[in-house]
Amino acid sequence: MPRKLAAGNWKMNGLRADLTQLETLAARHSDASVDILICPPATLISQCKDLLFDIGGQDCHTLMAGAHTGDISAKMLADAGASHVITGHSERRMDHGETDAIVAAKSQAAHAAGLVAVICIGETRDQREAGTTLDVIDSQLAGSVPDGAGAYNTVIAYEPVWAIGTGKVPTLDQIRQVHGHIRARMRARFDDAAEMRILYGGSVKASNAADIFAVPDVDGALVGGASLTADDFSPIITALEAS
């Protein structure tokens, strides 16, 4: 069984004053039996690197350097102290028009820089209601996960777009179906797919975490708003440890 992972995505939130939340979290979980990953804004990565858990970026460019004002490369993230980077988050796909091909290229760049790529996939509400969820998942996995991916450098995060930040959560059967489908597709491509971690994301909180973590093939969570404070994120980590 892969070691479970609790990942927090701070998105465009967090100033230096908020680092006290991470210090509190580190103190509470200094002997955690699961892996903990925090993805703060890039401005805080270097200041987080000495904490007791992994630090990740929220995005990277497809190239390692060049004339791309405002972008950050995977190599820069690694140099700042990151070990992971999120690629293909639905907010990047929607706000910046990122395609599966771009997500795959960013994931390849992450691998080349020695980072673990946390590749996000998930359907919209319209796609869910149209009954095409698994077709969408198949297409995103095929197009976003590059050859050369494996358990050592890739995490898959299933985040139904309609559940992110809305308080709405798929049923446990829906989560089970999609996670099992992802595992099967990864097994068809990669020899170590049984060890590749598959996270669930989308309105995960203390009140529903234990039920979600009991679903087969859920190896942890990618958490948004509930990862911003130690009081909200700590119970989710504890629930994952107990699963």
Asked if residue 133 lies in contact with residue 182, where contact means CB atoms within 8 angstroms, the answer is no
Q: Which residues pair with 57 in a beta bridge?
A: 85
Burial 205-217 (b: 16+ CB within 10 A, else e): bbeebeebbebeb
Q: Which residues contact 210 (CB under 8 A, 6 or more apart)?
A: 239, 242, 243
Identity at 115, one-letter amino acid code:
L
Task: Write down the catalytic residue from 89, 98, 111, 123.
Answer: 89
Cα angle 31, 35, 38 (rounded to 5 degrees) comes to: 105
Q: Which residues contact 147 (CB under 8 A, 6 or more apart)?
A: none
How far is it, in rounded angstroms, from Cα 118 to Cα 10?
14
Which among 123, 210, 185 has a CA at the least distance from the CA of 160?
Answer: 123
Does residue 195 carry a catalytic annotation?
no
CA 238 to centroid of chain Cα atoms: 18
Task: Write down the catalytic residue from 91, 98, 123, 159.
Answer: 159
On the CB side of 9, CA atoms within 13 Å amount to: 28
Unique residue bearing structure tokens 């450098």: 153
Which among 68, 8, 71 has a CA at the least distance from the CA of 35?
Answer: 8
What tokens were used for 71? 């972008």
Does residue 159 carry a catalytic annotation?
yes
Which residues have a catalytic role annotated?
Answer: 89, 159
